[in-house]
Amino acid sequence: MNRDTQRAKAEAFRAMHDRSRILVLPNAWDAMSARVIEEAGARAIATTSAGVAFSVGYPDGEAMPRDEMIAAIARIARVVTVPVSADIESGFAHDARELAETVRRVIDAGAVGINLEDRIHDGTPSLYDLEVGVRRVRAAREAADSSGVPIVINARTDVYLLAIGEADTRFEHAVRRANAYRKAGADCLFIPAVTRRADVERIVPALEGPLNLLVAPGIPPVPELERLGVARLSVGTRLTLGAMSTLRNTVAELLSTGTCESTLEGATTYAEANHLMASRRS
């Protein structure tokens, strides 16, 4: 992909966060899933860190090599024409210099957005100190600017997801972090594990930028989230896990009864799948 095309995709992706219409982002884990999502009509595609890791033989949580993560992003970006946002977890980096390198390589792979979280991947439920988190967002912004591609940085704080602190402190903690990341150069603010309408109603006006939420049990439906002012909704691992479940059930039926008709009813045909991949447009 040439830089002019990539810049145009980045600007188009940024415009999708203006809150005039909620951006629903299905998450792909490989080229095939990305093409299916695009063909279904998605305006943009995000990768799922867990799904990508599973697809190349690793658990989630920056356990896969950075090179494999970037190669997966490149395969996804190559086969679709819609903007692709890459989930790079905490950047596969111990410091700002390494993080900047990850961002540059992800841009070279064809992405026009990133998710960058403030979780420390050391096996404990902990976050980077706020000052460190801010420096990391700033490093990502500077790396993107130097590349000439104005990527959309979706800064994620895991205050709610990891249940950091007492429950009654999480709102102020998450908002403080999110707004600090916004000032450091983030375009969108991601607070996963917020599902209650009352919490959404508090958070939206308290943020200094667009809010991204994650699909989870109990979250209001998309039209209601749009009315509440949510800018973006990520699907996360839901599609990956759904595909895994279908595969497991099909194989279980085949091995136990010798049939697989019930789980394959209405399934995509070989011809349809082959045509989908042969007609990729980039």
CATH number at residue 198: 3.20.20.60
The 10s digit of each residue's pLDDT in 238-266 is: 999 999 998 998 899 899 999 887 767 78
| Contact present, 175 and 130 (Cβ < 8 Å) | no
Name the 3-class secondary structure at 75.
helix
Coil, strand, or helix at residue 138? helix
pLDDT of residue 267: 84
Is 270 contained in some domain? no
* Within a domain: 208: yes
Q: What angle do CA 67, 68, 73 make, to 5 degrees?
A: 100
Distance CA(102)–CA(140), nearest Å, equals 9
**Grouped pLDDT means (10 residues each) for the chain, 282 residues:** 92 96 98 97 98 97 97 97 98 95 98 98 95 98 96 98 97 98 98 97 98 97 97 97 92 90 80 89 51
Q: What pLDDT score was predicted for residue 166?
A: 97
Task: Report whether 120 contacts 127 (CB < 8 A).
Answer: yes
Domain for residue 249, yes or no? Answer: no
Query: Does a structural domain hold residue 56?
Result: yes
Cβ pair 49, 85 in contact under 8 A: no
Q: Is residue 263 part of a domain?
A: no
Q: How many domains, the chain?
A: 1
pLDDT at 265: 75
Residue 259, in any domain of the structure: no
Residue 74 lies in a domain: yes
CA distance 231 to 225: 8
| E strand residue ranges, the chain | 23-25, 27-28, 45-47, 84-87, 113-117, 119-120, 126-127, 152-156, 188-190, 211-214, 232-234
CA distance 8 to 148: 11
Q: Can you give the residue range of the structural domain that contains 165?
A: 3-237
Q: What is the pLDDT of residue 281?
A: 54
How many Å apart are CA 68 and CA 64, to the nearest integer? 7
Inter-residue contact 152 to 188 (CB < 8 Å): yes
26 domain residue, yes or no: yes
What's the predicted TM-score (pTM) here?
0.95
Helices (H), 46-187: 49-55, 66-79, 96-108, 130-147, 170-183
Angstrom distance (rounded) from CA 45 to CA 48: 10
pLDDT (0 to 100) of residue 40 = 96
